[in-house]
Amino acid sequence: MKKVLSVLLAGALAMSTLAGCGSTQSSTPSSGGSAQSTGGDNAEKTTLVLWTRDRADASFIQPWIDKYNETNKDGIFIDYQMYTDNFEQALDMAYSTNSGPDLVGVSGMTDIFTKYVNQGQYVEIDQYLTDEQRARYKSLVSNGIDAIDGKLYYIPVFGSTGRLFYNEGIFEKCGIKEPPKTMAELTQTAKIITDKLKGEGVYGFAMNLKSPSSALQRSIDFIVQRSGGSKQGYDFGKGAYDFSMYEEAVKEFRTIFTTGIAFPGCESLDIDPLRTQFAAGKIGMYISWSHADPGVYASQFPTNEKWNVAQLPTIDGKVYSQSIQPYKGYMITKTCKAPEKAWKACNDLFYSDDFVKAYHEAGLGSVMVDDLKSQVKAPEILKGKENGLLGATDKFWPATPQELNSQAVIVEGNDQYTDLAGMILGTGDIKAGLTALTDRYNAALKKGIQEGKGKELKIANWDPANPNG
């Protein structure tokens, strides 16, 4: 319990810091009239503790929560708590002691989602939906992402994917005319920047390798998909894992990170310190989520640098597609003593049209609700940066066996991202490492199938350019 409390304290401190950051005009909710005390004098107070690990949108969300706490007439108070590190460990500890939060913010963390759903930690929300809402959100229901076995647990109203963020001013200074379209061009572009501007403390490329899964889920996974490969190492055409498709991308990243091209200390760099350096004009390029980073440079880390967004490079320049990650929803925990009020808070605040429109227009996520797509304005921060929005090659991909059930693929030894990060930083032979990774994951998948926790997922006539047939 001490660990939970310490993490909580750290999260609270982080939250207080972020809440003090500036925000764009669209980040402040409209009052809708004069403010009233929460619930009135006779209403019973209900505090809902919400845990999240999302930092990029904290300065946007906090004012909305504050306004909701002040004005709702249902006696609801949302206690918004941020966990900057060890989010899963904090959840494990809380659930083991039946002391978890009432709401958990989930942002495309499919492994965490399925893990805790399969443990029975979250409340199925279909019981709260009206027929109108079921019809409205039908296109957002995705097995292994927000639903398991036909049961819905949250509504991901936004979508996200990976993008290349680059400093146009640095490009111009180095005579670089356009962002790279292949991995070889990425390496060469990064080298040009570092060679010319290293003396000024400017480097061509950076990655938040302090957390290998965070860094590589938003970068190399999408690059491999976009190049006609697998999703998180899983080949739907073969019905098996195959990490050989990562070889060329790993080789190029290894060159960047072992020859002095990359920003120094990337192996211990988290995403927010990386963003800070990019905002200061010290990094030429990096890869991150399309939903988070545009809004970051409007509020959390305001910058005068001239930056832009590009599609990710591929292995050979040929483009197939990359997956859209449904993003941003809130799950009600089984320990919540007022689940109906928790749903009401989510429905009235986080899933409200006003909030969804404002969030999109702040550049924090692309709205996925069909009837709202035509109503939202293009984010001001993304004017001239249209690649920051979802495009024609961003498509929904099926969930992998591990996404469908995190307990179906229990791998002995390191996970794929730890091993991939090691290879990128220069550890071992790449081809041999990828072969070993493939073997370990397929052995784990086979065992999971034998134990009845997973099943073979093979799609006939699989086409990575058209993943939904």
Regarding predicted confidence, which is higher, 180 or 108? 180
Equal CATH topology for 2-160+326-390 and 162-323+392-469: yes
| Model pTM score | 0.83
> Which residue type, as a one-letter code, is found at position 336?
C
Mean per-residue pLDDT, 423-428:
97
- The CATH number of domain 162-323+392-469, selected from 3.90.1200.10, 3.40.190.10, 3.40.50.2300, 1.20.1290.10: 3.40.190.10
Check whether 19 has a pLDDT greater than 80. no
Alpha helices in 228-270 (DSSP H): 247-258
Q: Give residue-wise pLDDT tens across range 351-401.
A: 999 999 999 998 888 999 999 999 999 899 899 999 999 999 999 898 899
Check whether 29 has a pLDDT greater than 90. no
| Domain locations in the chain as residue ranges | 2-160+326-390, 162-323+392-469
Check whether 15 has a pLDDT greater than 70. no
Query: What SS3 class is residue 224?
Result: helix
Q: Band the pLDDT of 14: cuts 50, 70, 90.
A: very low
Cα angle at 49 between 44 and 53, to 5 degrees? 160
Mean per-residue pLDDT, 2-13:
37
With 0-12 / 13-18 / 19 or more C-beta atoms within 10 angstroms meaning exposed / middle / buried, residue 168 is: middle
Question: For residue 327, what is the enclosing H or E element?
Answer: strand 325-327
CATH number of 2-160+326-390: 3.40.190.10
Mean confidence (pLDDT) of the chain: 88
Check residue 403 and give its pLDDT.
85
Q: Band the pLDDT of 412: cuts 50, 70, 90.
A: very high
Q: Give residue-wise pLDDT tens across range 60-103.
A: 999 999 999 999 999 999 999 998 778 888 999 999 998 889 99
Check whether 148 has a pLDDT greater than 90. no
Which of 266, 137, 241, 120 has the alpha carbon at shortest distance from 190? 266
Check whether 18 has a pLDDT greater than 70. no
Check whether 129 has a pLDDT greater than 80. yes
DSSP output for 378-399:
PPGGGTT-GGGS--TTEE--PP
Check residue 37 and give its pLDDT.
37
Q: Band the pLDDT of 141: cuts 50, 70, 90.
A: confident
Q: Band the pLDDT of 106: cuts 50, 70, 90.
A: confident
Q: Give residue-wise pLDDT tens across range 282-294.
A: 999 999 999 889 9
Look at strands 329-332 and 147-148 and give their pairing: unpaired
Q: Band the pLDDT of 111: cuts 50, 70, 90.
A: low
